[in-house]
């Protein structure tokens, strides 16, 4: 089975190289992949971590909707040709490929978020005991008790906000 997986991985890599060759540079291709796959995944992850009402079906259909929305946005920006046959011209003109990818990621994130919330509201949520330790605000009864409060220089909150404050001050000084 390992050899079959290796051969399949190599063949997929070769096919991907031919797809990537159609782009101006590898960064445009990677950013397109991120807008199609990572933006919806990020939306699902954030909503699932912060909202206890999120359901598995909501997350699944949100990912599907976000991925298809990003693909639709991409083809709305560049047009669509299939096998040499012209299907449609670009619907929206955005000159920069990076801007196209950025707007595609926004479309994917929003579509994922809307569908995840809508489907989650229409389906049965998991019981809170199954969410313990996974979702913000749901206490895990098996978690060890919190240790003593750290001294100020070991506090992540103070160090994080301190770094943000220093960055803000330096940004204003060197503006």
Quick: pLDDT tens for 104-122.
999 999 999 999 999 999 9
| pLDDT at 3 > cutoff 90 | yes
Q: How deeply is 105 buried, as exposed, middle or buried, from its count of CB atoms within 10 A (0-12, 13-18, 19+)?
A: buried
Count CA within 13 A, CB hemisphere, residue 175.
Answer: 5
Query: Looking at residues 142-167, what average pLDDT do you find?
Result: 88
d(CA 71, CA 86): 17
Do 22 and 74 meet the contact criterion of CB atoms below 8 Å apart? Answer: no
């Amino acid at each position: 089975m390992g050899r079959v997986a290796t051969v399949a991985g190599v063949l997929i890599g070769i096919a991907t190289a031919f797809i990537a060759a159609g782009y101006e540079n590898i960064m445009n291709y990677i950013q397109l992949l991120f807008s199609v796959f990572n933006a919806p995944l990020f939306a699902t992850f954030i909503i699932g971590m912060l909202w206890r009402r999120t359901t598995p079906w909501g997350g699944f259909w949100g990912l599907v909707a976000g991925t298809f929305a990003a693909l639709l946005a991409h083809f709305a920006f560049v047009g669509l040709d299939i096998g040499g046959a012209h299907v449609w011209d670009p619907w929206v003109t955005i000159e920069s490929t990076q801007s196209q990818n950025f707007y595609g990621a926004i479309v994917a994130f929003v579509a994922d978020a809307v569908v995840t919330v809508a489907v989650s509201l229409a389906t049965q949520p998991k019981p809170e005991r199954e969410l313990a330790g996974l979702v913000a605000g749901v206490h895990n009864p098996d978690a060890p008790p919190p240790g003593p409060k750290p001294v100020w220089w070991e506090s992540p909150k103070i160090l994080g906000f301190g770094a943000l404050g220093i960055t803000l001050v330096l940004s204003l000084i060197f503006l």
